[in-house]
A and B are shown apart, each in its own frame.
Chain A
Amino acid sequence: MREIYARSEVTTTADDEVRLVAALRLGDERAFTEIVDRYGIAMYRVARAHVGNDEAAGDVLQEAWLAALRSIQTFEGRSTLRTWLIGIAVNIARSRRRREARNSAFSVLLSALAERRTSPTVDPSRFQGRTGDDPGAWRLPPAAWSDLPEAQLLGKEVLGEVKTAIEALPEAQRVVIQMRDVEGFATDEVARILGISAANVRVRLHRARALVRARLEAYLGGVPR
């Protein structure tokens, strides 16, 4: 866990970005590869969260970089380079989704319904009903993950399960949890990039996290009975 923490602590200094952007404007290949190596994978993953498959995400990545190169002369540094690049990838992924959506009005409808749902995020049968001796309290509380073998909780397999769980979410939620929890963007940044309110980001994030947790709970040994 230590190196992850260290990673998220590393922040690109503004000076460093100014230098990279200036070099890129001059056509410096080393600056280009450095920026791609820093932010290319995040652009790809966020695009993937929008479009839902590897091939389309690769196309979005390519298109996003072409757009970035076309407009790098006008990049003013009002946002960080990372936010700017992710924003371009998001816009391109979205216009691609809109083109596809014309052929699939049904999926848009499903997505809108998923968005509007305000049902509980935890199975109501996990709590005591009105007739219980403590209505609304846990009937089947979550089993402690700290009792699990460390290898199971910190292993590669469980990460694969988290990834699968995120990929299975409705697009609106998937995009938000990807940007907030995986890429580590602040909620306000996610809101700005997606053009939605911070409150909406939190609502989507809440549903997404609860669904991923439920799946993880099932994977890690199931619901106590």
Chain B
Amino acid sequence: MKRLVCREMVELMTEYLEGTLNADARERFETHLRGCDGCTEYLAQLRAQIAMSRRLSEDALDPVYRDRLLAAFRDWRK
């Protein structure tokens, strides 16, 4: 079984996180990961970054836009 190198590993990270690697590739990916601090850290960083990205959805709609929409709604209802 061909060993994956770090340069290849980083290009498989999204497929791994998305669960779309086939069983063989997943096995090879995880085998490499167990023995590699650099790739383990890279993957951890992507996970941390995804969690940070998700927090960007915590803001609220600008009241100016909300008011404009409400005015449009009242027009529509007439």
Contact = CB atoms under 8 A, between A and B. Distances in A.
Interface of A: 1, 4, 7-8, 27, 29, 32-33, 36-37, 40-42, 44-45, 58, 61-62, 65-66, 69, 120-122, 124, 127, 134-138, 141-146, 153, 158-159, 162-163, 166, 177, 181-184, 187, 202, 205-206, 209-210, 212-213, 216-217
B20 interface: yes
A212 B53 CA distance: 10
B69 A145 contact: no
Contact of A69 (B5, B58, B73): B73
Contact of B14 (A40, A62, A144, A209): A209
- Of the candidates B5, B18, B37, B52, the one having the most CB atoms from chain A within 10 angstroms of its own CB is B52
Nearest to A216: B49
Contact of B11 (A1, A121, A143, A163): A121
Contacts of A42: 57
Contact of B57 (A66, A142, A182, A212): A182
Contacts of B34: none
Contacts of A37: 60-61, 66
Contacts of B30: none
Nearest to A127: B7
B49 A40 contact: no
A61 B65 contact: yes
B50 interface: yes
Contacts, number: 147
A78 B1 CA distance: 45
Give chain A's interface secondary structure class.
helix
B46 to A, nearest CB: 6
B24 interface: no
Contacts of B55: 4, 159
B18 A202 contact: yes
B57 A162 contact: no
Contact of A166 (B53, B59, B62): B53
A66 B64 CA distance: 17
A40 B61 contact: yes
Nearest to B48: A145
A202 B53 contact: no
A5 to B, nearest CB: 9
Given A42-B57, A136-B6, A159-B52, A66 B72 contact: yes
Contacts of A4: 51, 54-55, 58
15 contacts: A4-B51, A4-B54, A29-B73, A32-B73, A33-B70, A36-B66, A44-B62, A58-B65, A62-B72, A120-B7, A138-B39, A141-B41, A162-B56, A182-B53, A210-B10
